[in-house]
Amino acid sequence: MVYEIIKCPYCQSEHIVRYRKSKTGKQKYKCCNEKCHKIFQLEYQYKVCEPRIKEKVIAMVTNGSGTRDTGRVLGTDKDTVTNILKKQKFSETSE
pLDDT in tens, 42-80: 887 777 777 788 888 888 988 988 889 998 988 888 898
Is the domain of 64 the same as that of 78?
yes
Looking at the structure, tell me whether residues 40 and 69 fall in a common domain.
no
As to burial, measured by CB atoms within 10 angstroms (0-12 exposed, 13-18 middle, 19+ buried), residue 89 is exposed
Do 24 and 56 reside in the same domain of the chain? Answer: no
- Identify the pLDDT of residue 50: 74
The confidence score (pLDDT) of residue 90 equals: 54
pLDDT the model gives residue 62: 87
Domain count of the chain?
2
| pTM given for the model | 0.57
39 and 53, same structural domain?
no
What b/e sequence results for 38-70 when a residue is b if at least 16 CB atoms lie within 10 Å of its CB, and e otherwise?
eebbeeeeeebebeebeeebbebbeeebebeeb
Burial class (CB in 10 A: 0-12, 13-18, 19+), 19: middle
**Digit-coded pLDDT (tens) for 14-30:** 999 999 998 888 899 99
Residues 61 and 22 grouped into a single domain: no
Q: What's the rounded Cα separation, in Å, for the pair 26 and 79? A: 26
Q: Report, as an integer, the average pLDDT of 29-50.
A: 85
Looking at the structure, tell me whether residues 51 and 88 fall in a common domain: yes
Task: Report pLDDT for 31.
Answer: 94
Q: Are residues 12 and 36 in the same domain?
A: yes
My answer on whether 35 and 57 are in the same domain is no
Q: Specify the 3-state DSSP secondary structure of 62.
A: helix
77 is in which domain, residue-wise?
47-94
Closest CA to 82 of 45, 46, 48, 49: 48
Examine the domain organization and report whether 73 and 36 are in the same domain. Answer: no
Same domain, 55 and 26: no
